[in-house]
Amino acid sequence: MKPTDIAQPRHPGRPAISPDGSQIVVALTRVDLDEDDYASDLWIAPSDGSAPPRKLTHGWRDGAPAFSPDGRWLAFVRAVRGDDGKVGKPQVYVMPTAGGEPRRLTDEKLGASGPVWSPDSTRLAYTARVPEEGRYGTKDGVDAGQEPPRRIAKLFYRVDDVGFLLDRPRHVFVVGVNEDEGGEPTRITDGPYDHTDVDWSPAGGLLTFSASRHETWNDDLVADIWVCAEDGSGIRALTDGTLSAGQPRFSPDGSTVCFTAVVADGPVISNNYLWSAPSDGSAPARRITDEEPYSLAYPSGVLEPVEDGVLFGNEVRGGVELLLVPYDGGEPSVVAHGTERQVVAAARRGGTLAMTITDATSWGEVYAGERRLSSWNTAISPLPMEEVTGATADGYPVHGWVVRPPSGNGAGPHPVLLMIHGGPFTQYGWRAFDEAQVYAAAGYAVVMGNPRGSSGYGQAHGRAVIGDVGDVCGADLMALLDQALKADDLDGSRVGVLGGSHGGFMTTWLAAQHADRFKAAVSERAVNATDSFIGSSDIGWFFPGALWGPEPEKSPLTHVDKITAPMLIIHSEQDWRCPLEQAQRLFVALRLRGAQAEMLLFPGEGHEMSRSGLPSHRVARFEAILDWFGRWL
């Protein structure tokens, strides 16, 4: 895989199933290098495998398909690309399943998302941000630089890759589907609060959503689950103001609302538990998964109530398994295993279980049960992932993988890259990963793993880094590297280290604490200075204290004088998660002492540039990293 080969994989999303279970529709996303953009369309396949998937829509960016309960309609979200090359805001569309052209139902200024059907198939609920008058293009001739000043009185007032929040709250809307009825969408919620993840009761009469509607909203992490009538009346909370809750979903009979949540004032690292509450409010909400082993897969794992329980995508040792969790909180059963693969999306309807599954050999295919229906990525052959387990001085096991260069690169020994994931509470795992594939194809053996602080190995494994993430996570990473270097075809004298976000923090940390081990480093979108991160990051007001504490010796910048490896610092100019000053402070500190350091800045990009930024920027980033390690390793 070369940098420009990011255009080859196809990435299927969450499947939608027709009411009778016979048809599956999924959005398929791809990179378009010629247009320097992302495109997606909807594909449909018979669930019995009698025919291959075929393209259903031909929009520029179609997604979020949803069949109506009566099977007559397919709703989805579409963003249209204009003749000038600009992509408009996503809007809700509907098309008849018997054939016909899609019809647009919404015209929200900042776009619409997440359409869900009413049980009678006549209406759709969705969410959309409502801009304050005079902002975000709502007043002709007034651009962003001419808007009035923002008065900020809340801690959580902006978020990376979205922007400011307080002047464009997200609300719930309902719109009719039948063309002859006409009418504008009706706004269901009110106030300055964000409302997300709307769902419609299959029994009718109720909507549910997540929102922070309490007195100290956006000054804490509390988000409650709410229900209201279909017209917005009778709004009431199902949770007690102690949880950070989201993704509410009604059970098939409408009697229960299931959702995920963590304790709002709990540790910053926590498994994402499954909870439930009676939709009539007759009893308190209760947690129904064990807090230690089970955690909803990051970032948007499967949560779908079905007749006999809740489908739940659970992280486990780099895999994602699909569990069925009983409503009474009994022991979950495995519906689809997560051994050497990840079930990244699933739905069950009409007796059909549809899943999107990735593994080390594929960027994803669609399955009905264990029958593979698609072959979008079968022509691509990623380099294999080989498991390796190291052990720290006290015997703690550290699980990971090595991705070696192709056989055409010879027997080695190969230069090595220690690659560190972000989070820290997330996981590397069993899926084709463009980062590892590009570097390995260029001749490097890539070592990657899940040290303490990672998810998927139990909550205690994640929380072990609280208060000392650098030393604890660092000890695990070095143990994993040492184990990998026992192989004869890996060259321990030519080792580089790289990572982004928390991985960037650890890159800068290890380059200082183990300067003798690394010949070059690439620190990307990193936390380098914990003191200023607290006030400058969108999450700085709550996130860093538990991990790093106030001691300056926990900050990588404190140890910059120990760094001897040439360091490339990569950052995005619009990164609000790890703001640009984090890169600038490290760069200046290194250059002032005469160290070999360069900074690569990407305009117009946020924290997620390496995953969802402009394709041309992603290619340029890969080329810069390969050039850097080519120079120094």
Counting runs of H as helices and runs of E as strands, what totals does the chain give?
Answer: 9, 39
- The DSSP-derived string for 95-163 is EETTS---EE----TT-EEEEEE-TTSSEEEEEEE-PPTTSTT-STT--GGGSPPPPP--S--EETTTE
pLDDT score of 559: 97
> For residue 618, what is the DSSP state?
H
CATH at residue 511: 3.40.50.1820
- The DSSP-derived string for 403-471 is EPPPGGG-S-PEEEEEEE-SSSS----SS--HHHHHHHHTTPEEEEE--TT-SSS-HHHHHTTTT-HHH
The per-residue pLDDT for range 152-197, each reduced to its tens digit, is 999 999 999 999 999 999 999 999 998 766 679 999 999 999 999 9
3-state secondary structure (DSSP) of residue 513 = helix
pLDDT score of 600: 98
pLDDT score of 85: 87
The per-residue pLDDT for range 445-493, each reduced to its tens digit, is 999 999 999 999 999 999 999 999 999 999 999 999 999 999 999 999 9
**357 is a domain residue:** no
**574 is a domain residue:** yes
**99 is a domain residue:** no
**218 is a domain residue:** no
The per-residue pLDDT for range 510-560, each reduced to its tens digit, is 999 999 999 999 999 999 999 999 999 999 999 887 788 778 899 999 999
Q: What is the pTM of this model?
A: 0.96
pLDDT score of 299: 67
Residue 323 pLDDT greater than 90, yes or no: yes
Name the pLDDT band for 380 (thresholds 50, 70, 90). confident
pLDDT score of 545: 79
**274 is a domain residue:** no
pLDDT score of 304: 95
Residue 300 pLDDT greater than 80, yes or no: no
pLDDT score of 156: 97
Average pLDDT over residues 119-137: 96
**442 is a domain residue:** yes
pLDDT score of 301: 82
Mean pLDDT for the chain overall: 96
Q: What's the number of domains the chain is made of?
A: 1
Least confident of 20-24, 134-138, 341-345, 599-603: 134-138
Contact 323, 290 (CB under 8 A): no
pLDDT score of 182: 61
Average pLDDT over residues 361-373: 97
**328 is a domain residue:** no
- The DSSP-derived string for 24-71 is EEEEEEEEETTTTEEEEEEEEEETTSSS--EE----SEEEEEEE-TTS
Average pLDDT over residues 72-86: 94
The per-residue pLDDT for range 234-292, each reduced to its tens digit, is 999 999 999 999 999 999 999 999 999 999 998 889 999 999 999 999 999 999 999 89
Show the domain range for 412.
385-632
**502 is a domain residue:** yes
**Using CA atoms, how far apart are residues 45 and 53, in angstroms rounded to an integer?**
4
**Using CA atoms, how far apart are residues 102 and 121, in angstroms rounded to an integer?**
16
Name the pLDDT band for 614 (thresholds 50, 70, 90). very high
Contact 500, 433 (CB under 8 A): no
